[in-house]
Structure 1
Amino acid sequence: MTRTCVGCRALGSAEELVRVVVTDTGEVAFDLAGGAFGRGAWVHPRSACLANAARSGLARAFRRELRVSPEALVRALHRAAERRAAGLLMAARRARKLEAGSTAVQHAVSDRRAELVIVARDARAAAEHAFLSPLIASGRAVAHGTKGELGAYIGRPDTALVAVTDARIARALKTAIEWTMVPEPNAVSVGARRTIVSEAG
């Protein structure tokens, strides 16, 4: 089913856009997991679309005054996407669809079980493993989080490498990580006296 982006008005699938809801208190929230009740609006996770949504698209879609800056909306997406990525890593661990540590990840890659490899941003040595080169080239290895954060998500000490072996979780995780890197738009004044943004991701 197609949706209309409130930022650019173009049609797109639910996989291409992110859902936004507004709470009873007027907070703008990202519903990345798709579990929030109530009316929602859809927007491409791109700087230009988010900026247009903040300026007028969301207010038009929800037929109410909403005060939120483009920068705040992008930052809210980043935070919601970070939580979404953490939740997916935890889900992979619970489902036993995750390998952690250089040796286990290398075995998963060799056995062609690794759908996505996560490399901690502060793990330079780990990123230089030869077995990662083809994965990086094909987009199946991405940098995300720190060693401490990855370890905390999966219940281990500092962890430099993680491999997700479930295709569905891997696709959703890669998308969430991409959303954490959406650049903030240039400072744009929207005449907002205050910013009301939260996340429900």
Structure 2
Amino acid sequence: MGLVRRQAADAPPPAEEGTARQRLEDADPERRRRAALDLEGDAEAVPALLARVPAEPDPAVRDAVLTTLAALDHADVAAGLAPHLRSDDAALRTAVAGALAAMPASVPALLPTLLADPDHDVRIMTAMILADLPHPGAAEWLAEIVAADRHPNVVAAAIDALLPMAGPEHADVLRAARDRFPDDPFLRFTVDAALPDLQEAGT
């Protein structure tokens, strides 16, 4: 998701009519985008913003809505966004994952549910969120996915997310994952390519 930095140029012109929440439903996408940004910090607007996420057809407006929601970083926002990780709309899934990755205060409480989701695609999206989540526990959560998940694609996604932050202490869990899925050539190649650097860093 292209999270948006609010700029002075984003302020609505004086002639805007209706409240920002009302303008979320405007026919003009630029008015909707400005309305979403105007709701920055307005916790009471969360239900209206969450309702707009799956309904919004314009990617720039949706990014503005998600930017405003992510900045709030509230538990109800994270809980309201998480179901979209299973959407059939790939662009919506990716945009929501980007928003959740910018919410380090509220996303950790969702991880047990997300990582136990029966849909392996949701677990893959969770690994993608952890790859960008600015939280000191991200690497260890990813290592837990690598160690425990039963689906090779989820493990491969978690390894890919873990490697940029991995240290020598993760070498054993990577080896064990490679050995759990001996018939997965991509996973084996990824681990075998990473291990020498991790081992060298530990000497």
User: What is the TM-score with the length of structure 1 in the denominator?
Assistant: 0.24
For the pair shown, which has the larger CA radius of gyration, 1 or 2?
2
More helix by share: 2
